[in-house]
């Protein structure tokens, strides 16, 4: 069976993240992306898994929407939920670098 090329545009950080996940699973990036695109579960290392599932994310957004009593639109709540969840699940190394004061000069 022949294969066709599918292009995906990523930020450098997203590409590094995929590379790290693939390495943890002893796969190359293409193999990992093919598995993910076809909906196959991620095998292997828990370090390569996302910190929460899409279902958990949607539950967080739904809870936030309910708590807002309609004062915010869903896109606004999704952006807030994503920002909060990213900060909660941020790697310790990135968090410690971000919290360090910047020196000038």
Domain positions in the chain are 12-48, 54-99
**Digit-coded pLDDT (tens) for 47-77:** 556 667 778 888 888 999 999 998 989 899 9
Query: Residue 56 to residues 5, 10, 19, 73, 77: CA-CA distances in angstroms?
Result: 32, 24, 24, 19, 15
Angle at which helix 29-37 crosses helix 12-24, to 10 degrees, equals 90
Q: Is the pTM of this model over 0.75?
A: no
**Residue among 53, 44, 40 nearest 21 (CA):** 44
- Report which of residues 85 and 29 the model is more confident about: 29
**Digit-coded pLDDT (tens) for 2-24:** 888 888 898 898 898 888 888 88
């Amino acid at each position: 069976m022949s294969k066709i090329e599918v292009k995906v545009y990523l930020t450098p950080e997203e590409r590094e993240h995929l590379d790290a996940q693939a390495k943890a699973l002893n796969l190359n990036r293409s193999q990992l992306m093919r598995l993910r695109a076809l909906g196959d579960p991620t095998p292997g290392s828990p370090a390569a898994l996302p910190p929460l599932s899409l279902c958990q994310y949607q539950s967080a957004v739904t809870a936030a929407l309910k708590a807002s009593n309609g004062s915010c639109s869903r896109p606004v709540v999704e952006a807030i939920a994503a920002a909060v969840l990213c900060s909660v699940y941020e790697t310790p190394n990135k968090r410690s670098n971000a919290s360090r004061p910047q020196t000038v000069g």
